[in-house]
Structure 1
Amino acid sequence: MGRQVGSRRLGGYILNEGKLSIRLRRSLFRLRAERAAMYGLITRLTAASGRRNELALMLLDPAANRRGCHHYVVALGTDGPDSLWVTEIWISEEAHRAWVAEIRDSEVLKPALALIATWGDTIITRPLAGIGL
Protein backbone atom coordinates (compact mmCIF):
# COMPACT_ATOMS: atom_id res chain seq x y z
CA MET A 1 0.00 0.00 0.00
CA GLY A 2 1.71 3.17 -1.17
CA ARG A 3 1.37 6.67 0.19
CA GLN A 4 -0.81 9.08 -1.65
CA VAL A 5 0.75 12.25 -3.01
CA GLY A 6 0.12 15.16 -0.64
CA SER A 7 -0.59 12.94 2.37
CA ARG A 8 1.25 12.44 5.66
CA ARG A 9 0.88 10.23 8.71
CA LEU A 10 -0.16 11.61 12.11
CA GLY A 11 -0.37 9.11 14.96
CA GLY A 12 -1.53 6.29 12.68
CA TYR A 13 -3.89 8.51 10.71
CA ILE A 14 -3.43 9.67 7.16
CA LEU A 15 -4.03 13.35 6.53
CA ASN A 16 -4.78 13.99 2.88
CA GLU A 17 -4.04 17.46 1.61
CA GLY A 18 -4.94 19.07 4.93
CA LYS A 19 -8.23 17.17 5.34
CA LEU A 20 -8.88 14.77 8.18
CA SER A 21 -9.18 11.13 7.19
CA ILE A 22 -12.53 9.46 7.73
CA ARG A 23 -10.94 7.30 10.44
CA LEU A 24 -9.74 10.37 12.37
CA ARG A 25 -13.10 12.14 12.00
CA ARG A 26 -14.90 9.06 13.39
CA SER A 27 -12.48 8.89 16.32
CA LEU A 28 -13.03 12.56 17.13
CA PHE A 29 -16.80 12.10 16.93
CA ARG A 30 -16.63 9.14 19.36
CA LEU A 31 -14.43 11.16 21.70
CA ARG A 32 -16.92 14.03 21.74
CA ALA A 33 -19.80 11.65 22.41
CA GLU A 34 -17.95 9.93 25.27
CA ARG A 35 -16.86 13.21 26.83
CA ALA A 36 -20.23 14.96 26.44
CA ALA A 37 -21.34 13.57 29.79
CA MET A 38 -18.31 14.87 31.69
CA TYR A 39 -19.04 17.38 34.42
CA GLY A 40 -16.74 20.25 35.32
CA LEU A 41 -16.70 22.79 38.14
CA ILE A 42 -14.56 25.84 38.75
CA THR A 43 -15.04 27.27 42.25
CA ARG A 44 -13.52 30.27 44.02
CA LEU A 45 -12.95 29.87 47.74
CA THR A 46 -11.72 32.32 50.33
CA ALA A 47 -9.81 30.76 53.20
CA ALA A 48 -9.91 31.98 56.78
CA SER A 49 -7.41 34.81 57.13
CA GLY A 50 -3.83 33.56 56.83
CA ARG A 51 -4.87 29.89 56.38
CA ARG A 52 -4.87 29.60 52.57
CA ASN A 53 -1.89 27.23 52.26
CA GLU A 54 -3.22 25.01 55.02
CA LEU A 55 -6.63 24.84 53.34
CA ALA A 56 -5.04 24.05 49.96
CA LEU A 57 -3.16 21.09 51.42
CA MET A 58 -6.25 19.81 53.25
CA LEU A 59 -8.34 19.95 50.06
CA LEU A 60 -5.80 17.66 48.42
CA ASP A 61 -6.05 15.02 51.18
CA PRO A 62 -5.75 11.59 49.49
CA ALA A 63 -8.20 10.16 52.06
CA ALA A 64 -10.92 12.09 50.19
CA ASN A 65 -11.13 9.32 47.60
CA ARG A 66 -12.38 10.94 44.40
CA ARG A 67 -13.67 7.96 42.41
CA GLY A 68 -14.78 9.18 39.01
CA CYS A 69 -12.68 12.34 39.11
CA HIS A 70 -10.42 12.91 36.09
CA HIS A 71 -8.96 16.20 37.27
CA TYR A 72 -8.81 17.97 40.65
CA VAL A 73 -6.60 21.04 40.91
CA VAL A 74 -6.28 23.51 43.76
CA ALA A 75 -4.66 26.79 42.70
CA LEU A 76 -3.62 29.87 44.63
CA GLY A 77 -5.65 32.86 43.50
CA THR A 78 -3.96 36.08 42.48
CA ASP A 79 -7.00 38.14 43.47
CA GLY A 80 -6.30 38.15 47.20
CA PRO A 81 -4.03 36.68 49.89
CA ASP A 82 -6.65 34.11 50.97
CA SER A 83 -8.09 33.23 47.54
CA LEU A 84 -8.13 29.69 46.13
CA TRP A 85 -9.58 28.26 42.92
CA VAL A 86 -10.61 24.62 42.66
CA THR A 87 -11.03 23.06 39.21
CA GLU A 88 -12.67 19.64 38.93
CA ILE A 89 -13.56 17.35 36.05
CA TRP A 90 -15.73 14.32 36.77
CA ILE A 91 -16.86 11.47 34.54
CA SER A 92 -20.45 12.61 35.19
CA GLU A 93 -22.55 14.85 37.38
CA GLU A 94 -23.78 11.70 39.16
CA ALA A 95 -20.18 10.73 40.07
CA HIS A 96 -19.67 14.19 41.59
CA ARG A 97 -22.91 13.99 43.56
CA ALA A 98 -21.97 10.54 44.88
CA TRP A 99 -18.59 11.87 46.02
CA VAL A 100 -20.19 14.86 47.77
CA ALA A 101 -22.59 12.50 49.60
CA GLU A 102 -19.71 10.20 50.55
CA ILE A 103 -17.64 13.11 51.89
CA ARG A 104 -20.61 14.48 53.81
CA ASP A 105 -21.20 11.07 55.44
CA SER A 106 -17.52 10.32 56.16
CA GLU A 107 -16.57 13.82 57.31
CA VAL A 108 -13.10 13.34 55.79
CA LEU A 109 -12.89 16.95 54.66
CA LYS A 110 -14.61 18.45 57.72
CA PRO A 111 -11.39 20.14 58.97
CA ALA A 112 -10.84 21.68 55.52
CA LEU A 113 -14.42 22.92 55.26
CA ALA A 114 -14.00 24.68 58.60
CA LEU A 115 -11.17 26.77 57.05
CA ILE A 116 -13.37 28.12 54.23
CA ALA A 117 -14.45 31.67 55.06
CA THR A 118 -16.59 32.11 51.93
CA TRP A 119 -17.66 30.02 48.96
CA GLY A 120 -17.54 32.06 45.79
CA ASP A 121 -19.48 31.33 42.65
CA THR A 122 -19.17 27.93 41.04
CA ILE A 123 -19.09 27.73 37.27
CA ILE A 124 -20.39 24.48 35.78
CA THR A 125 -18.75 23.34 32.53
CA ARG A 126 -19.08 20.45 30.08
CA PRO A 127 -15.47 19.45 29.28
CA LEU A 128 -14.90 18.00 25.82
CA ALA A 129 -11.24 16.99 25.74
CA GLY A 130 -7.80 18.04 26.86
CA ILE A 131 -4.35 16.92 27.84
CA GLY A 132 -4.65 14.24 30.49
CA LEU A 133 -8.34 13.52 29.87
Structure 2
Amino acid sequence: MHGLIGKMTAAAGKRDELVAILLEGVHEMPGCLSYVVAHDPKDADAVWITEVWDSEASHKASLQLPAVRAAIARAMPLIAGFGEGATTVPVGGHGLG
Protein backbone atom coordinates (compact mmCIF):
# COMPACT_ATOMS: atom_id res chain seq x y z
CA MET A 1 0.00 0.00 0.00
CA HIS A 2 0.95 3.63 -0.46
CA GLY A 3 -0.05 6.39 1.94
CA LEU A 4 0.09 10.16 1.95
CA ILE A 5 -0.61 12.63 4.73
CA GLY A 6 -0.48 16.34 4.00
CA LYS A 7 -1.50 19.73 5.29
CA MET A 8 -2.97 22.36 3.00
CA THR A 9 -3.84 25.94 3.92
CA ALA A 10 -6.70 27.65 2.14
CA ALA A 11 -6.85 31.34 1.36
CA ALA A 12 -8.54 33.19 4.23
CA GLY A 13 -12.17 32.22 4.49
CA LYS A 14 -12.00 29.69 1.63
CA ARG A 15 -11.50 26.46 3.60
CA ASP A 16 -15.05 25.14 3.16
CA GLU A 17 -14.97 25.84 -0.58
CA LEU A 18 -11.62 24.06 -0.87
CA VAL A 19 -12.86 21.07 1.16
CA ALA A 20 -15.91 20.74 -1.10
CA ILE A 21 -13.66 20.52 -4.16
CA LEU A 22 -11.32 18.02 -2.48
CA LEU A 23 -14.24 15.75 -1.63
CA GLU A 24 -15.82 15.72 -5.10
CA GLY A 25 -15.45 12.41 -6.89
CA VAL A 26 -13.36 10.70 -4.24
CA HIS A 27 -15.24 7.46 -4.89
CA GLU A 28 -14.22 7.47 -8.55
CA MET A 29 -10.46 7.02 -8.13
CA PRO A 30 -9.36 3.46 -8.95
CA GLY A 31 -7.03 2.05 -6.31
CA CYS A 32 -7.96 4.61 -3.65
CA LEU A 33 -8.72 2.72 -0.44
CA SER A 34 -9.19 5.75 1.80
CA TYR A 35 -9.31 9.53 1.27
CA VAL A 36 -10.07 11.65 4.32
CA VAL A 37 -10.17 15.44 4.50
CA ALA A 38 -10.19 16.91 8.01
CA HIS A 39 -10.31 20.42 9.46
CA ASP A 40 -7.30 21.48 11.52
CA PRO A 41 -8.82 22.51 14.88
CA LYS A 42 -5.96 24.96 15.55
CA ASP A 43 -6.07 26.75 12.18
CA ALA A 44 -9.37 27.93 10.68
CA ASP A 45 -7.89 27.87 7.15
CA ALA A 46 -6.04 24.53 7.24
CA VAL A 47 -7.01 21.00 6.28
CA TRP A 48 -5.27 17.66 6.56
CA ILE A 49 -5.63 15.08 3.81
CA THR A 50 -4.93 11.42 4.55
CA GLU A 51 -4.85 9.02 1.60
CA VAL A 52 -4.30 5.28 1.28
CA TRP A 53 -3.81 3.71 -2.14
CA ASP A 54 -3.35 0.12 -3.22
CA SER A 55 -0.07 1.24 -4.86
CA GLU A 56 1.99 4.31 -5.68
CA ALA A 57 1.20 3.68 -9.35
CA SER A 58 -2.54 4.00 -8.69
CA HIS A 59 -1.98 7.32 -6.95
CA LYS A 60 0.14 8.64 -9.83
CA ALA A 61 -2.44 7.44 -12.36
CA SER A 62 -5.21 9.25 -10.46
CA LEU A 63 -3.47 12.55 -11.09
CA GLN A 64 -4.10 12.07 -14.81
CA LEU A 65 -7.86 11.48 -14.50
CA PRO A 66 -9.81 14.32 -16.17
CA ALA A 67 -12.00 14.84 -13.08
CA VAL A 68 -8.97 15.02 -10.77
CA ARG A 69 -7.14 17.42 -13.09
CA ALA A 70 -10.24 19.64 -13.23
CA ALA A 71 -10.56 19.61 -9.43
CA ILE A 72 -6.90 20.54 -9.04
CA ALA A 73 -7.33 23.45 -11.47
CA ARG A 74 -10.36 24.70 -9.52
CA ALA A 75 -8.67 24.26 -6.13
CA MET A 76 -5.33 25.92 -6.89
CA PRO A 77 -6.62 29.53 -6.66
CA LEU A 78 -8.05 28.71 -3.22
CA ILE A 79 -4.79 27.32 -1.81
CA ALA A 80 -2.55 29.70 0.12
CA GLY A 81 0.11 27.09 0.81
CA PHE A 82 1.15 23.56 1.57
CA GLY A 83 2.45 22.53 4.96
CA GLU A 84 3.83 19.35 6.37
CA GLY A 85 3.55 16.17 4.38
CA ALA A 86 4.63 12.57 4.61
CA THR A 87 4.64 9.45 2.50
CA THR A 88 3.77 6.33 4.45
CA VAL A 89 3.50 2.57 3.97
CA PRO A 90 0.18 1.56 5.52
CA VAL A 91 0.22 -1.90 7.01
CA GLY A 92 -3.45 -2.23 7.99
CA GLY A 93 -6.30 -0.73 9.86
CA HIS A 94 -10.06 -0.39 9.86
CA GLY A 95 -11.35 -0.41 6.30
CA LEU A 96 -8.03 -1.43 4.75
CA GLY A 97 -8.44 -5.18 4.93
Q: Give the TM-score, by structure 1 length.
A: 0.65
- Does structure 1 residue 76 correspond to structure 2 residue 44? no
Shift of residue 88, structure 1, vs aligned partner: 0.2
Residue equivalent to 1:117: 80
**Structure 2 residue ranges without an equivalent (≥5):** none
Report if aligned partners of 1:64, 1:108 keep a CA contact under 8 Å in 2: no
Residue equivalent to 2:2: 39
Picking from 32, 56, 70, the partner of 1:108 is 70
Aligned mates of 1:70, 1:126 — CA distance in 2: 13
Equivalent pairs: percent with the same residue? Answer: 40
CA gap 1:130/1:39 in 2 versus in 1, 3 angstroms: same
**Structure 1 residue ranges without an equivalent (≥5):** 1-37
Aligned mates of 1:56, 1:64 — CA distance in 2: 15
Which of structures 1 and 2 has the bigger CA Rg?
A: 1
Residue equivalent to 1:126: 89
Partner of 2:65, secondary structure, is helix
Aligned mates of 1:111, 1:86 — CA distance in 2: 17
Aligned mates of 2:33, 2:69 — CA distance in 1: 22
RMSD: 1.9
Residue equivalent to 1:3: none
CA gap 1:61/1:125 in 2 versus in 1, 3 angstroms: same
Q: How does 1:1-80 map to 2 (within 5 A)?
A: 38-62=1-25, 65-80=28-43
